[in-house]
A and B are shown apart, each in its own frame.
Chain A
Amino acid sequence: MNKPVLRVQDLAVTFTSYTGNLFQRRQRQLRAVDGINFELNPGETLGIVGESGSGKSTLARAILGLIAPGRGRVMWNGEELTGLDEEALRQKRKELQIVFQDPVASLDPRMTAGDIIAEPLWTFYPNMERLQVEERTRGMMKVVGLLPNQINRYPHEFSGGQCQRIGIARSLVLNPKLLICDEPVSALDVSIQAQIINLLKDLQNKLGLALIFIAHDLSVVRHISDRVMVMYMGQAMEVSDKTKLYRRPLHPYTNALMKSVPVPDPKLAAAARQDSWLTGDMPSPYRRPKGCIFHNRCPFRVKRCEADIPALRRMEDGDWVACHRAEELDLSIQVAASG
């Protein structure tokens, strides 16, 4: 058995905001991440999927200590990150890196590609030889599929996909053990998305990285994930092995997410539309529904769902689900063989 590198226990993040006027200040609590548990083995990929506002980015930031969690623990190789002071945490970030969503906005337009990729080296190893830094930077560019002779170009001279490659090179230059990718392909053309996903999968195999891959679309994480966690309003609705999840999702919300993925086939798309049922928006996080937080959008709800909160529980085959009716519902997905 592998020993997990990352262990997240009951992690919760709450934001406080104030409403009202000068004389009557009212405090409001927003539970962005609400008791998340999971483990990640070396070389394993966990996909995290949910709509905007489900707390997936906040979870990523809390794991890296970029946001202080209100509750819970993050264990990295047996060491607790949650209590570390800033300097100790900074040192740990050599091993834990993140790739952001918008590849163009997350790069400094006044720095060259080479400077952007080398910056973490300068920060953590200020005494490193110039030549060595440049060599490492050029090497990294090659690894992510950029031409080393583009080292002196600026971000605006690259396309969106290439900018994301720069972002990936930068986050890998310190040889991290864990890479968190927060919607790394959402801002890219569909035709380019697969390039980046294949690149990440390749790099993971080569470098033995543990990977957390966040997306709002189940079709995007399917290829790269070993397990998938589906989040809704800060909570995990389902954590399942990839092959099982894509054939027979356990939670109605997972099923709904799968059915909203567009199909590139006019006839099948029309048929799929007949079959989809997710309506309405996610409720306001300040007005969380009682009982199951998904019950107001769920067509399978029964009386019980409006009153009892379903716990995330382990099914016989080892997958996790937070639904009272997981055993009786058959949410199997029709798939055609081949591809």
Chain B
Amino acid sequence: MPLLSISNLEVEFETAEGVVKAVNGMTFDVFEGETLAIVGESGAGKSQLVLSFMGLLAENGSVSGEAKFRGEDLLQMKPRELNRIRGRHIAMIFQDPMTSLNPFLSIEKQMTEVVRHHQGLSREEARAHAVEMLRAVRIPDPEERIKQYPHEYSGGMRQRVMIAIGLLCAPELLIADEPSTALDVTVQAQITELVGELRKKTKMALVLITHDLAAVAEISDRIIVMYAGEAVETGTVDEIFYSPQHPYTRGLIASVPRLDRISDDELQAIPGNPPNLLELPIGCNFRDRCSEATEQCLERPPVWRATSGRTSRCFQGIEGGEIVNE
């Protein structure tokens, strides 16, 4: 049984300009111990997807579909039941380590609060546990540093503290929303290494959200590429990087500037901008930015699935695959 099973999830927002469909019929599973990356540009709906089943949507947002965690539908839970799951069984790390820590509370206070609430540990036990976690994320001198306040930590260290807080209750699922985007490349590399190490040590499943395919190449098992609220391609990490099927996936890979190749050609960008969800193009959502678009693309593209399970939402199809919808 999958740890998390999302089916037909839709997220809508009521805005002054009309109803915006941020997530449009997402279906996927997350299994124990695996790392799933959800990749897409700003506005693709990747954050809203996760926030919706964590019960964290903005007030004008609504969600429908199913999000089963160990068989229980998170979307049907009352806030109290959801609180029992959040933090303890599913933990989340947000993008900006500068604003997700409370500047008025010591690191110790912020860390021990979580375990005392969820696991009922005493103050000393909670503190010892927190110090151990800080050591696990390689904060030097954790017994001393736990007494300090967020401003005394560098950006990379703050993000490591956020990861440590996420791991405190040994969750079965950790969701990280752009955990290293606000950080220097050097620190990004350290965080990637840390996450990869933790993944090997525990059976925790990991969902990584990012706009940068290169950032997840090393640590993902499977990847979902999202565009305008939909999955346009899904597959294993090797399938996505070594034989991408959807033109958008190929564009994302090509746009990564690389140092391991000599090339003085023009840098490759995906032309145009992510679409306005209120004025989606007719037919394929990616059509007006796609260099391979044809007349056919004026209609909704079908979803193709190969025997390996990988999918692509494009008329080009997948060799040896079949159409599974429409």
Contacts and interface: CB of A to CB of B under 8 A. Distances in A.
Interface residues of B, dominant DSSP: loop
Contacts of A194: 255, 257, 267-269
Given A190-B255, A260-B189, A282-B154, A266 B218 contact: yes
Interface of B: 41-43, 140, 154-157, 184-190, 192-193, 196, 211-215, 217-218, 220, 237-238, 241, 251-253, 255-271, 273-274
A149 to B, nearest CB: 15
Contacts of B259: 218-219, 222, 246, 258, 261, 333, 335
A256 B189 CA distance: 11
B184 A51 contact: yes
Contacts of B154: 53, 281-282
A223 to B, nearest CB: 5
Contact of B258 (A160, A161, A263, A276): A263
Given A256-B186, A263-B217, 14 more contacts: A53-B154, A161-B273, A191-B269, A191-B270, A194-B267, A194-B269, A216-B185, A219-B257, A220-B257, A263-B258, A266-B241, A269-B214, A272-B260, A273-B189
A338 interface: yes
B269 to A, nearest CB: 3
A264 B210 CA distance: 13
Given A261-B259, A281-B156, A190 B237 contact: no
Interface of A: 51-53, 159-162, 189-195, 197-198, 216-220, 222-223, 246, 256-266, 268-270, 272-273, 276, 278-282, 333-339
Nearest to A278: B186
B237 A266 contact: yes
Contacts of B261: 335-339
A339 B258 contact: yes
Nearest to B157: A281
Given A258-B259, A281-B157, A270 B241 contact: no
A264 B41 contact: no
B157 A191 contact: no
A261 B185 contact: yes
A280 B157 CA distance: 10
A219 B271 CA distance: 20
B241 A335 contact: no
B267 to A, nearest CB: 4
Contact of A52 (B155, B256, B264): B155
Contacts of B253: 264
Contact of B43 (A53, A159, A337): A159
Contacts of A216: 184-185
Nearest to A197: B267
